[in-house]
Structure 1
Amino acid sequence: MFIQLLPLILVGCLGYGLKRAGVLGPGDAKAIGTLLTHLALPAVILKALATASITSELVYLPLSALIVVLGLTLIGLVAIRGLGWERAKAGALMTTFPTFEGGAVGYPLMLLAYGEVGLSRIVLFDLAQAVYLLTVVYSLSAWFGQAGVTARAVALKLGQTPFFWAIVLGLLMNSLEITHPALLSLLDIVGGSFLLLVLLLVGMEFEVQMAGLGEYGLVALAKISCGLGLGWLAAIAFGLEGVERAAVLLGAALPPSLLTLFFTQENALDSRFASGLISVAIPLYLAAMVPLLAVITDPGPG
């Protein structure tokens, strides 16, 4: 599995190296992020869901995600009471801790390990988290930032998020059996850039402040461990096996969503903490989960 992941790691390092060399800058990262969120990621999600074999039993995937994010939210609330951090830093923790970075980390890993079947399963798992992120977490972030948040603002946040609509349209295409070869070929072309764009972006966004490395590492380890434990409980409770269980376990332990960095910036929270935590959590997650992936289950048809 490490040999399979090595090219992905090298592309991420390439993105970091190009940023450090000044070849790519903040403007380029913004352009890559726009292409990723508005074209490549929606195309990958659409293709995966439109062509997947989706049965009623798969409802346990988003239900598992809901259990995990609710559990992580409660753990985070208990933690900030004990830590005594100032409001901006506590708000950054509550914005990042309950979320998953599926698009940049979970999707490529499941695609590599299980193909499009695995990708479709983690997309379904991520569905509940995506809605939770854009409603509950967004509202929590605004509350800690003492910014007014309304139902209209939350609805706009959902409506302006391409990957949310890609999930909705993908499920609709699946139910209506819309799988025209020309459409699928178009999605293949657009989605073919997904891995390159996402890995370059992750490499460019990687930034760790050495002064807080220990703190970031402890919080990231706590998030991964708690998420993995909650995911394991959900998988046992719903009797999930095979690729579905792998999607829940890998999804539940994911590092914080990159969108939370923008939430902390928007609401004047501690974006430095959010950036450092995400940067440390991604390599720590890969180091912990890649060996575990080899023993979770053998790839199956789902």
Structure 2
Amino acid sequence: MTAFEKTLPILLIFFVGLALKRMKILKREHAPLLSQIILKVALPATIVNSLAGMDLSPHLFLLPVSGLMIVTILLGIAYFVLAPALGLQGRTRGAFLMAFPSLELGSIGYAYMLAFYGGSDGVGQIALLDVGNSFFFFTVVASLARYFGHSTEQFRLHDGFLNFLKNPVSWAYALGLGLNLLHIHNEMFSTLFAALAQALLLLIMLLIAVEFELRLSSFTLPLLAMYFKAALGVIVGLLVSLLFGFTGMTRVAVVLGASLPSSLMTVAFARENELDTPFLASQLSLALPTAIGFSSVLMALMR
């Protein structure tokens, strides 16, 4: 089966989601519910199922470090190069700096590794990469949102770390790794987690379809941000892979993850801290569907 045949179902599910949205079966107000089901049920089950069953060679534990390194480099590029070059100021600058380094691994990344490789290894590798990204998101990104939004509530690193630990996905990492390292296997729970994981791809693509809203006005800056995010992400991902000597599936996971759009959660952070939410919404409206096609081509080239 070719790379196109493996990834075509992802595009088809996305278009099915758009059709359901057009028929008003799916609505924008369904997005929070879909997000909660993904975050608290399907995604944790997928992570546990993947990590518990994969072969954890020592070099894979460099993936969380790689994830943290990628988002830190992207933040540095955004702060020192792109924001000044694009002339971003005020709330738009804050929204851009908060969102640019974050990675939407929880949707497109998991979906593509699941569709392309199947089994537990592909999803397990993107899950390990997401550990670094998630830690960065709930600490540094949250801090940036508060700082640029001039929130009256002072952000504390301790609070960000607690939010990271309370996230169901964090517990899924711990449980999956613990089951793997202790060689614990229960057929009933394995079947349950595997069944719940089957829903992840469908739920993720429906969420992206629900969130998609093409805005033709004032899209120049969001379009540039989307382009720079994808192009620079590929370069940073390749450099990190070269640094750690990643090859094969691991290199694919790192490069794919680094090139993904900003996290959907950044819109919620921007809204909460009165940053430029329309700018982020426009960027994601363009980036999410574009990333589906871009990721298909990227994974086909890297095989």
Q: TM-score by structure 1 length?
A: 0.93
SS in 1 for 2:185: coil
User: Is 1:129 aligned to 2:125, yes or no?
Assistant: no
Mapped contact 1:101–1:254 kept (Cα < 8 A): yes
Q: Give the drift of 1:159.
A: 3.4
Deviations 1:184-214 (A, max 9, x none): 0010122221111111111000112111333
Q: Give the drift of 1:18.
A: 2.2
Partner residue in 2 for 1:89: 92
Mapped contact 2:256–2:298 kept (Cα < 8 A): no
Aligned-CA RMSD value: 1.6
User: Is 1:117 aligned to 2:117, yes or no?
Assistant: no
Tell me, in whole angstroms, the C-alpha distance in 2 between the residues paired with 1:105 and 1:87: 30
Q: Give the drift of 1:155.
A: 3.2
Deviations 1:139-186 (A, max 9, x none): 111111111212343134213421122112211221112221111001
SS in 2 for 1:254: coil
Equivalent AA in structure 1 for residue 36 of structure 2: T
SS in 1 for 2:217: helix
Tell me, in whole angstroms, the C-alpha distance in 2 between the residues paired with 1:123 and 1:161: 14
Q: Give the drift of 1:244.
A: 0.8
Match 1:227 to one of 218, 224, 233: 233
Equivalent AA in structure 2 for residue 130 of structure 1: S
Partner residue in 2 for 1:106: 109
User: Is 1:19 aligned to 2:25, yes or no?
Assistant: no
Tell me, in whole angstroms, the C-alpha distance in 2 between the residues paired with 1:42 and 1:162: 7
Tell me, in whole angstroms, the C-alpha distance in 2 between the residues paired with 1:156 and 1:35: 21
Tell me, in whole angstroms, the C-alpha distance in 2 between the residues paired with 1:122 and 1:2: 20
Equivalent AA in structure 2 for residue 180 of structure 1: N
Tell me, in whole angstroms, the C-alpha distance in 1 between the residues paired with 2:291 and 2:196: 28
Equivalent AA in structure 2 for residue 94 of structure 1: L
Q: Percent identity?
A: 33
Match 1:238 to one of 244, 249, 252: 244
User: Is 1:141 aligned to 2:145, yes or no?
Assistant: yes
Match 2:184 to one of 160, 178, 183: 178
Tell me, in whole angstroms, the C-alpha distance in 2 between the residues paired with 1:208 and 1:94: 22
Q: Do the aligned partners of residues 28 and 284 (structure 1) sit closer, same or farther apart at CA in structure 2, a change above 3 Å counting? A: closer
Mapped contact 1:145–1:269 kept (Cα < 8 A): yes
Mapped contact 2:212–2:288 kept (Cα < 8 A): no
Gaps in structure 1 of 5+ consecutive residues: 298-302
Alignment of 1:1-302 (within 5 A): 1-78=3-80, 79-115=82-118, 116-147=120-151, 148-297=154-303
Deviations 1:94-133 (A, max 9, x none): 1210011111101110111112211111111111011011
Deviations 1:11-55 (A, max 9, x none): 212222322332222332222221111101100011001111112
Tell me, in whole angstroms, the C-alpha distance in 2 between the residues paired with 1:61 and 1:151: 23
**Deviating runs (4+, > 4 A) in structure 1?**
none
Q: Give the drift of 1:264.
A: 0.8
Equivalent AA in structure 2 for residue 120 of structure 1: G
Mapped contact 1:220–1:284 kept (Cα < 8 A): no
Tell me, in whole angstroms, the C-alpha distance in 2 between the residues paired with 1:284 and 1:15: 15
Tell me, in whole angstroms, the C-alpha distance in 1 between the residues paired with 2:294 and 2:31: 27
Tell me, in whole angstroms, the C-alpha distance in 2 between the residues paired with 1:14 and 1:156: 38
Q: Give the drift of 1:292.
A: 2.5
Mapped contact 1:67–1:230 kept (Cα < 8 A): no
Q: Give the drift of 1:237.
A: 1.2
Task: Select between 18-27 and 185-194 the one with higher mean Cα deviation.
Answer: 18-27
Tell me, in whole angstroms, the C-alpha distance in 2 between the residues paired with 1:25 and 1:287: 24
Mapped contact 1:208–1:279 kept (Cα < 8 A): yes
Equivalent AA in structure 2 for residue 37 of structure 1: L
Mapped contact 1:16–1:205 kept (Cα < 8 A): no
SS in 2 for 1:211: coil
Q: Give the drift of 1:271.
A: 1.1
